[in-house]
Structure 1
Amino acid sequence: MRIHVYGKPHEITTGFDDYLDPSKTAVVSIDMHRGHLDPSPDCPCPAPRARDVVAPIDAFHDLVRSFGIPIIHVRSVLRRGGADDLNGISAAWRRTFPLHVGAIPNSEAHAIEGSRWTEFVTRVEPTDLIVETKRRLSAFYPTDLDFLLRNMHVETVVLNGGFTDCCVLNTAFDANNHNYRVVVARDLVRGTDDHLEAAALAMVSLHLGLVVDSADLIAEWRNAKPRLSGAPDRAAKIA
């Protein structure tokens, strides 16, 4: 299979079967909601580079569902009134990121519970799972993602979404520190810019797990029947 190491393609034939076993895998899609992706000028935390991966992520998820691999959508949600952010110890990005991009209009509305900014832009099907209460950068903090994955007997997480150099990278580090195997679909994530996106993927490839193209991962899963273990329902779907 082709992976990417420090930005360069690299062929592997052995040594990573456990990373590529679909029977022990879940896909985790991070922060693909209106608070980042809405095209309106009052979008509170715009990530416009990620808009072009909405359709590709939806197409990837359709194939993932056909294999019986669970999809977990994670979104940032903050309490009304700002107790866990604006009126407490606020998230660092609120003061640091504007030093690079300038003032962010309406940033106070970002991720407020019950607002339209928490609505997913990518498609969520009834069989999918949702993790909320992501209040900072990692999908593991302070959410129940780890609890959910362990109860599903998941050992490998495949990450997509945004930002590559922020929430995706933080989630990859936390997943690794929680002893999950990490795979990042490089064509289904977007970063602050090309430079930081490439840097984040390079760090993942050297320290945290596999960086792959989603089409290569799908092809690997299709060929995975001989080594499937522990999930007969998924094995039947992939077969």
Structure 2
Amino acid sequence: MHDAQHPDPTTPARDQKADRPALLIIDMINRFDFPQAEQIKPAALAAARTIAALRGAVERAGCPVIFVNDNFGEWHSERSRLIDSAMRDGNEITGSLTPNDDDYFIIKPQFSGFYATNLPVLLPKLGVNRLILTGIATDICVLFTAADAHMRDYDLWIPEDAVAAETRERGRWALEIMANSMSAETRPTSEVSLADWVERSREDQPAQS
């Protein structure tokens, strides 16, 4: 697996032509030991199953998978320790989404995956101009990451069945903001395929003069 702080040597040194999506899996490597964790677990498990299927489609399309994860407040920690910590007591959610060798892993210190991380540098090197945001929580880290992505002109798909919040109401509220204020596609994977979304987003791009 690629660590964004120690990139794989096959990662291009220069920015590439931007014309492909990346899947961001946000905070699903998680110990679920925070307040209200029990409230979000059922929805997170359902989202994990959807993310796993979507991840397969992304991998078959030859596009990058990027884990974007909190450090649990452990400032001396790194990727393997975070994964081991999340898996310590057996964790079906994290266990279904363990990073592969070809995945990237970025540790974030705050809500947004773009804040104080290498993500803004990594995405252009991978030729990414579209982001599929998945994970938890819809109304916090997914929302903040979406806002930063929107300000950087990334096309967004945030499938409602691939994200989870503590309550259905909070999740719906956040999805409406992302759809209405950030032009994000939020329909579930049962209604939109990866190929359909990529094709539609290409059609929606302004013609080059």
Q: Same fold (TM over 0.5)?
A: yes
Task: Provide the residue aligned with 1:26 in structure 2.
Answer: 22
CA distance in 2, matches of 1:161, 1:75: 10
Task: Provide the residue aligned with 2:48 in structure 1.
Answer: 54
Q: Is the 8 A contact 2:19 2:129 kept in 1?
A: no
CA distance in 1, matches of 2:73, 2:172: 33
Are residues 1:150 and 2:124 paired?
Answer: yes
Structure 2 alignment gaps of length 5 or more:
1-17, 88-93, 204-209
CA distance in 1, matches of 2:20, 2:85: 32
Are residues 1:218 and 2:197 paired?
Answer: no
CA distance in 2, matches of 1:138, 1:222: 24
Task: Provide the residue aligned with 2:69 in structure 1.
Answer: 75
User: Cα RMSD over matched residues?
Assistant: 2.7
CA distance in 2, matches of 1:189, 1:223: 19
Which of 162, 169, 173 in structure 1 is aligned with 2:147? Answer: 173
Q: Is the 8 A contact 2:19 2:127 kept in 1?
A: no
Task: Provide the residue aligned with 2:104 in structure 1.
Answer: 129
Residues 177-211 of structure 1: per-residue CA shift (max 9 Å, x gap): 12212221111001120111000000011011221
Between the aligned residues of both structures, percent identity stands at 24
Q: 1:71 to 1:219 in 2, by over 3 A?
A: closer
Structure 1 alignment gaps of length 5 or more:
1-21, 37-42, 84-111, 229-239
Q: 1:118 to 1:136 in 2, by over 3 A?
A: farther
Larger radius of gyration: 1
Residues 12-38 of structure 1: per-residue CA shift (max 9 Å, x gap): xxxxxxxxxx942111110001323xx
Are residues 1:193 and 2:167 paired?
Answer: yes
Deviation at 1:163, TM superposition (A): 0.3
Q: TM-score, normalization: structure 2?
A: 0.71
Q: Is the 8 A contact 1:76 1:118 kept in 2?
A: no
Task: Provide the residue aligned with 2:5 in structure 1.
Answer: none
Are residues 1:164 and 2:153 paired?
Answer: no
CA distance in 2, matches of 1:53, 1:175: 21
SS at match of 2:111: coil
Residues 198-234 of structure 1: per-residue CA shift (max 9 Å, x gap): 000000110112212123332644994xx79xxxxxx
Deviation at 1:69, TM superposition (A): 1.7
Q: 1:23 to 1:217 in 2, by over 3 A?
A: farther
Letter in 2 for 1:63: A
Letter in 1 for 2:28: M
CA distance in 1, matches of 2:156, 2:25: 13
Question: For this pair of structures, how many residues does the alignment match?
Answer: 170
Residues 42-62 of structure 1: per-residue CA shift (max 9 Å, x gap): x24524131222222112111
Q: 1:118 to 1:138 in 2, by over 3 A?
A: farther
CA distance in 2, matches of 1:78, 1:32: 12
Q: TM-score, normalization: structure 1?
A: 0.63
